[in-house]
Amino acid sequence: MSTQPRLETRVSIQERRQINLEAQVEELSGEITTSFKLVAEYFDRIENRLNKIETDIADTKTTLNQHTNRFDNLEKLLSQVLERLPKNEK
């Protein structure tokens, strides 16, 4: 009586292990694919939000420049008005 399993038994065990390992690899591969898709979707959402923020910042800069120009014009007008006032009313 031998303590080693027969050759056929060992081959059978190896075959079952190989099938189990291949199944696990296939499952992990599917999970990784799903994870990558989720990460890609997340990055797309982040990119969209950043694009909106950039657009908002550009709009804010434009509005700020418009206000600056208006204040500059008001300052010029005020200077002109002050120049026309008699000296004792300043």
**pLDDT tens digits, one per residue of 32-72:** 999 999 999 999 999 999 999 999 999 999 999 999 999 99
**Which residue range is the domain that position 74 belongs to?**
7-89
Q: What is the pTM of this model?
A: 0.57
- Any domain includes 1: no
- Any domain includes 2: no
- The rounded distance, in Å, linking the Cα atoms of 68 and 82 is 21
Which position has the token pair 């005020």?
A: 78
3-state secondary structure of 81: helix
- Any domain includes 63: yes
How many separate domains does the chain show? 1
